[in-house]
Structure 1
Amino acid sequence: MTQILLLGAGKIGAMIAELLSLSGDYEVTVGDHDLVGLNRMNVNSAVRLLQLDVTDKAALADAMAGKYAVLSACPYHLTPYIARAAKAAGVHYFDLTEDVESTRLVKELAKDSATAFVPQCGLAPGFISIVAYDLAKKFEKLHNVHMRVGALPKYPSNALMYNLTWSTDGLINEYCNPCEAVVDGVLREVPPLEEKEHFSLDGVDYEAFNTSGGLGTLCETLEGKVNNLNYRTVRYPGHCDIMRMLIRDLRLGERRGVLKDMFEYALPVTYQDVVLIFVTVSGYRQGRFLQETYAHKVYAKDLYGQIWSAIQITTASGICTMLDLLRLGKLPQKGFVRQEDCDFRDFIANRFGANYARPEDAMVVTGQKQEKVA
């Protein structure tokens, strides 16, 4: 059994622990300072609970001793403590952060590391980059890469047309921080909550606008190879204008703690959600200007006798797949590992990645055999 330290016993951590511990290949120690969160975890013979303050260097080192990998499902501001401890302990490192500065720190730590550092393993950043890069590789010359992702309530019922499905800190971070993009061939920063667009999918109207962090390392990977590359968050129409009023007109972007309190007081959590993934890539192949699109919706569903939200399933499946592929030798075994270093076919064929599979991906899922590396 592969020994894993999972830090963070929140909504995503609970799903990660469930997927890994019930796979038959992993034993998971779940660490969190919050006893209430720990006590909500589903416990089985492959799950151990540990009250742990990750800012306690000695305690964190003890928790990592003998582990194959550490998975962080903690808020992004705790990344420095966990990533540095992982390097010191010589264990593989994975996280879910969308925070650009945190990822830069992880990349720096990975430079001379004997173990793998694999940040941004969720939905966006994460799976969205794997999809986009897979489509991009099909073109001899790229033109545009457009990536759109939304985690939305299935039954919106308020003016924001939104419920909490994800980390509130992460949500505010995405709405307030500068965004990376390639514009007319030049890598640059663009403001969040701007460049709003409207589109329809399956008869439902949506809006999309700039948010921070969703591109992961793809700007760096495709810089000089693409004319325009951008990532935008998908919401129901009207959401962006209200957020701009709160963050800019009322200046709550300067008082993020107040904004967090408002969200968590007024917006209920929902497990009845849908994750929308929409990627469009255009370019040239054999002299012809072509476009390819990936579109998929993932819904909340019953797994292991319990309802899990779509954002729990997609985010947890992303990090569990990357861990599993590293263990199977299908990812670089040391240094900084980008999401686009993962082959789309390997991801979808994986037992955890199969949670993302569309009907047309069925042959990929069933047609590849995976064997554990000796």
Structure 2
Amino acid sequence: MKRILLLGAGKIGEMITVMLAQTGDYHVRVGDRDEAAFARIVQSDRVETQVVDASDHDSLISAMQGCFAVLSAMPFHLNPGIGKAAKEAGCHYLDLTEDVASTRAIKALSENAETAFIPQCGLAPGFISIVAADLAGRFDSLHNVHMRVGALPKYPTNALKYNLTWSTDGLINEYCNPCDAVVGGVLKEVPPLEEIEHFSLDGITYEAFNTSGGLGTLAETLAGKVNNLNYRTVRYPGHRDIVKMLLQDLRLAEKPDLMKDIFEHAIPLTMQDVVLIFVTVSGYRNGRFMQESHAQKVYAHELDGRMWSGIQITTSAGICAVLDLLATGAIAQKGFVRQEDISLDMFLENRFGRHYALAQPNVADMTPGAAGRAAE
């Protein structure tokens, strides 16, 4: 049984604990500085809790003793310090961050490391990069790679047509920071909340716009190999305009703590959500211009006698599957590991990755001359 330190006893940490502990193959030590947060953690002989201050190096080192890996479900700004402690303690490191700067810091720490450093193990970045890389690998040359993801309320009721489903810090971060993209074959940064588009899926209309971090490392991996590569967050129509007014016109982007207070005071949490995943790749194969797409929805559903949200399931399944592949030696055991280095088939065959496979993705047949139509 491998001992795991999980930092963060929030909504995602709770789900990760349940997934790992019920296998019988992992003993999970849940660390958080807020002792009250442990009340939501399911107790068992394979779960323990420990007060850990993730901003304190000595506290981290102490908590990591005897652990195979540390999983960070903490705010992104704490991850570089957690990664530094993991390297010193000789633990493998995995996180869920969408933050570009934090990932660069983790990549720097991975140099000459004897353990694996695997950031961005959730949904987006994470699973979305694995899907996009799999589709891209089926082409002789690439034209466009479009990645779209949204965690949405199943029953939107407010003007934003949105409910909180995951980290508010992460949400504001991706709405405010520059976004990586490949445009005309050149890797560059594009502004958040821009390049809005509309599309329909299963008879429902959505909007999508630039947000930061969702590409993960795929922009660097495919730079020089694709004409256009971008990631956009999916919302119901009208959401982007309100958020842009709040963040840019009212300048709340300059006061993220205030924006967080407003969101968490006014926007309720929901467990009734749907996660939408939509990837479209076009390019040439055997001399023909073709397109292939992957589209699926993952809804909130019951696991182990409890109801869990779609974003809890998809995010937690992502990091748990990567941990499992690491523990079984299926992926690199040291250095920096990119999500796109992981085989989609191997991921979906994993006991945690099957949570995605069970959602029955709709993968369209490739059709000639169809490039550029998806997500427009």
How does the TM-score come out when normalised to structure 1?
0.96
Q: Determine if the alignment matches structure 1 residue 56 to structure 2 residue 43.
A: no
1:140 aligned partner, one-letter code:
D
**TM-superposed deviation, 1:358:** 4.8
Structure-to-structure mapping, 1:283-298, within 5 angstroms: 283-298=283-298
Q: Determine if the alignment matches structure 1 residue 174 to structure 2 residue 191.
A: no
Aligned-partner Cα distance in 2 for 1:257–1:180: 25
Residue-by-residue CA offset, 1:245-294 (whole Å, 9 max, x unaligned) = 00000000001111000000000000000000000000000000000000
SS in 1 for 2:265: helix
Aligned-partner Cα distance in 1 for 2:56–2:38: 18
Paired residues of 1:283 and 1:289 also in contact (CA < 8 A) = yes
Aligned-partner Cα distance in 2 for 1:14–1:303: 13
Paired residues of 1:148 and 1:234 also in contact (CA < 8 A) = yes
2:226 aligned partner, one-letter code:
V
- Corresponding residue for 1:216? 216
- Corresponding residue for 2:229? 229
2:32 aligned partner, one-letter code:
D
Residue-by-residue CA offset, 1:320-351 (whole Å, 9 max, x unaligned) = 00000011111111000000010000000000
Query: After TM superposition, which residue ranges in structure 1, 4 or more long, deviate above 2 angstroms?
Result: 358-362
Q: Determine if the alignment matches structure 1 residue 198 to structure 2 residue 198.
A: yes
Residue-by-residue CA offset, 1:71-113 (whole Å, 9 max, x unaligned) = 0000001112210000000110000000000000000000110
- Corresponding residue for 1:279? 279
Aligned-partner Cα distance in 1 for 2:187–2:54: 35
Structure-to-structure mapping, 1:204-353, within 5 angstroms: 204-353=204-353
- Corresponding residue for 1:368? none
Paired residues of 2:294 and 2:361 also in contact (CA < 8 A) = no
- Corresponding residue for 2:188? 188
The share of aligned pairs that are identical, in percent, is 66
Aligned-partner Cα distance in 2 for 1:56–1:258: 26
- Where structure 1 has 5 or more consecutive residues not aligned to the other structure, the ranges are 363-374
SS in 1 for 2:86: helix
SS in 1 for 2:220: helix
**TM-superposed deviation, 1:56:** 2.1
- For the structure 1 residues 359 and 51, does the alpha-carbon distance in structure 2 shift closer, same or farther, using more than 3 Å as the test? closer
Structure-to-structure mapping, 1:4-83, within 5 angstroms: 4-83=4-83
Paired residues of 1:129 and 1:218 also in contact (CA < 8 A) = yes
- For the structure 1 residues 66 and 176, does the alpha-carbon distance in structure 2 shift closer, same or farther, using more than 3 Å as the test? same
Residue-by-residue CA offset, 1:182-228 (whole Å, 9 max, x unaligned) = 00000000000000000000001100000000000000000000000
- Where structure 2 has 5 or more consecutive residues not aligned to the other structure, the ranges are 363-376
- Corresponding residue for 1:136? 136
- For the structure 1 residues 111 and 55, does the alpha-carbon distance in structure 2 shift closer, same or farther, using more than 3 Å as the test? same
- Corresponding residue for 2:114? 114
Aligned-partner Cα distance in 2 for 1:204–1:130: 26
SS in 1 for 2:289: strand
Paired residues of 2:208 and 2:235 also in contact (CA < 8 A) = yes
- For the structure 1 residues 49 and 339, does the alpha-carbon distance in structure 2 shift closer, same or farther, using more than 3 Å as the test? same
How many residues matched? Answer: 362
**TM-superposed deviation, 1:44:** 1.1
> RMSD value over aligned CA atoms?
1.0
**TM-superposed deviation, 1:49:** 0.6
2:216 aligned partner, one-letter code:
G
- Corresponding residue for 1:158? 158
Aligned-partner Cα distance in 2 for 1:95–1:306: 25
